Amino acid sequence: MKLDSNISINQLEQPLKRFWELSGEKILQIEKSFDPKNGAPVFTEKGKYVTRGWTEWTQGFQYGSAILQFDATGDQQFLKIGRENTLSKMAPHLTHTGVHDHGFNNVSTYGNLLRLIKEGKIEGTDWEKNFYDLALKVSGAVQAMRWTTTRDGGFIYSFNGPHSLFVDTIRSCRSLVVSHGLGHVLQGENDKRISLIQRAIQHVLSTVRYSIFYGKGRDTYDVSGRTAHEIIFNTNDGNYRCPNSQQGYTGFSTWTRGLAWAICGLGETLEILDKIDENDYSAVISKEDLVAELTKAAIATTEFYLSNTPTDGIPYWDTGAPGLTKMGDYLNEKSDPFNAYEPIDSSAACITAQGLIRIGNWLKDSDPVPSEKYIKAGIQVAENLFSEPYLSTDPAHQGLILHSIYHQPNGWDYRPDPNKAPYGESCMWGDYHARELALLLQRMQKDEAYYSFFNCVSR
């Protein structure tokens, strides 16, 4: 990525205004035309949101988007959409024992609504507040039940089974963090009280120790900062076996959306640690050692992203994708979503930009030089996402951020031109995280209360 040292957050004032105008139009389009009976909207085909059964992990992003739209604009119709649909449609996600996505579905809906009450942006009766509170407590405990014990800790296993650690889940751990923050525990056999924050910290540590590489020679492809989508463990003895990939090219290359989840999850975790009592997790690790490990991981992954992304900060879907070898010096050019070889994943950029800013904000006091670098890099990525060819200005297109990819290996994504890589479509997680990014930037630009998921616990 070619960094612009002169970029300023104030340059985003007009782009943010335009972004929220388009965002509102897209939300209303989907609300009017999409039939949820067939499942949740996942990604677009020919500009229209469709379902794609694998797991139902995107419905919270749909209604969470409406809540974020209200937060940014004050338009009550979006609060109504988010509030009513959370009440009527999201309950099955609270007790869904088959997925690792509770932080995506439920913190994005129940969590955002409770946050708005805690921040004083909406009025809520005691019953409404307690309803969101209870939902979040349940969600975190259910997520924590998907547990595999390893030789040096444990992790929340993916929908693939107890052997499978997904890098994505570091971001979804916020369901456990919120549940703990609200005073909840998971009760197991014989009424054993299981600490949710300890499980969350153990999972995060498993991710930074196994899903992230540090150039220490773990394998031939151990490059500092790269990530593996999936890590395989032997469930008989809890030992690490190998890296793997479900949505990336291989376990020995870096699926950039997985890298993005790591960067964003690390940034969010670092900035809320001061709000959690160290005594609640000291049985696992000291705060000093935890901060050191997470900081090392955050800097490694961030630097890898910046070094392996085109000049505008929008990455291709996998750093080892074979078609990249046919694209010349592609890292020293702007991203090309219309190329013939490999797709761009703009959703990875939406997720990463938020992580860059959060890591940069967290480093302000301790390390101001990389702090400024990461914040400006996040602003620069946002500026490029919030303009064409990535911002969707076509009123007939339901997506907000164009040129994302869901599952390149499986060939699920729509190809308008068979002679080119998939392009021109959007996804629900990319659009949602673009809105989170925009809200974070808007609050920073206006010097308003800092946007954090943990605001639903303490304000």
Domain with residue 410: its CATH number is: 1.50.10.10
The pLDDT value recorded for residue 459 is: 65
CA-CA-CA-CA torsion for 155, 156, 160, 166, nearest 10 degrees? Answer: -70
User: Can you tell me the distance from the alpha carbon of 457 to that of 459, in angstroms, rounded to the nearest whole number?
Assistant: 7
Spell out the residues 6+ positions from residue 244 whose beta carbon is closer than 8 angstroms to its own.
228, 229, 230, 231, 232, 251
User: Can you tell me the distance from the alpha carbon of 436 to that of 445, in angstroms, rounded to the nearest whole number?
Assistant: 14
User: In this structure, is residue 4 part of a structural domain?
Assistant: no
> What are residue 208's phi and psi, to 5 degrees?
-70, -25
User: In this structure, is residue 21 part of a structural domain?
Assistant: yes
* pLDDT in 10s for each residue of the chain, 459 residues: 999 999 999 999 999 999 999 999 999 999 999 998 889 999 999 999 999 877 789 999 999 999 999 999 999 999 999 999 999 999 999 999 999 999 999 999 999 999 999 999 999 999 999 999 999 999 999 999 999 999 999 999 999 999 999 999 999 999 999 999 999 999 999 999 999 999 999 999 999 999 999 999 999 999 999 999 999 999 999 999 999 999 999 999 999 999 999 999 999 999 999 999 999 999 999 999 999 999 999 999 999 999 999 999 999 999 999 999 999 999 999 999 999 999 999 999 999 999 999 999 999 999 999 999 999 999 999 999 999 999 999 999 999 999 999 999 999 999 999 999 999 999 999 999 999 999 999 999 999 999 999 999 986
**Which tokens sit at 231?**
């890590």
Helices 368-385 & 428-445 angle (0-180, nearest 10): 120
Spell out the residues 6+ positions from residue 379 whose beta carbon is closer than 8 angstroms to its own.
7, 8, 9, 11, 12, 353, 357, 441
User: Can you tell me the distance from the alpha carbon of 405 to that of 257, in angstroms, rounded to the nearest whole number?
Assistant: 9
Residues 314 and 336: beta-carbon distance below 8 Å: no
Q: How far is CA 217 from the centre of its chain?
A: 28
User: In this structure, is residue 118 part of a structural domain?
Assistant: yes
Let me know if 186 is exposed, middle or buried by CB neighbors in 10 A (0-12, 13-18, 19+): buried
Q: For residue 444, what are the domain limits? A: 9-456
User: In this structure, is residue 373 part of a structural domain?
Assistant: yes
Q: What share of the chain is helix, strand, coil (3-state, %, to 5)?
A: 50, 10, 40
Residues 231 and 216: beta-carbon distance below 8 Å: no
User: Can you tell me the distance from the alpha carbon of 93 to that of 80, in angstroms, rounded to the nearest whole number?
Assistant: 20
User: In this structure, is residue 133 part of a structural domain?
Assistant: yes
**Which tokens sit at 177?**
């963090």
Q: What is the amino acid identity at position 219?
A: D
Three-class HEC string of 153-197: EEEECCCCCCCEEECCHHHHCHHHHHHHHCCCCEECHHHCEECHH
State the DSSP string of 287-318: HHHHHHHHHHHHHHHHHHHHHTS-TTS--BSB
Whether omega before 422 lies within 30 degrees of 0, making that bond cis, reads: no
User: In this structure, is residue 2 part of a structural domain?
Assistant: no
Q: What is the spatial order of strands in the sheet that 230-234 belongs to?
A: 164-166, 230-234, 239-244
State the DSSP string of 206-261: HIIIIIB--SS-SSTT--TT-B-SEEEEETTTTEEEEEE-SSSS-TTS-BHHHHHH
The pLDDT value recorded for residue 420 is: 98
**Which tokens sit at 110?**
């129940």
Q: Which residues pair with 48 in a beta bridge?
A: 45
Q: What is the amino acid identity at position 183?
A: G
What's the domain count of the chain?
A: 1
User: In this structure, is residue 3 part of a structural domain?
Assistant: no
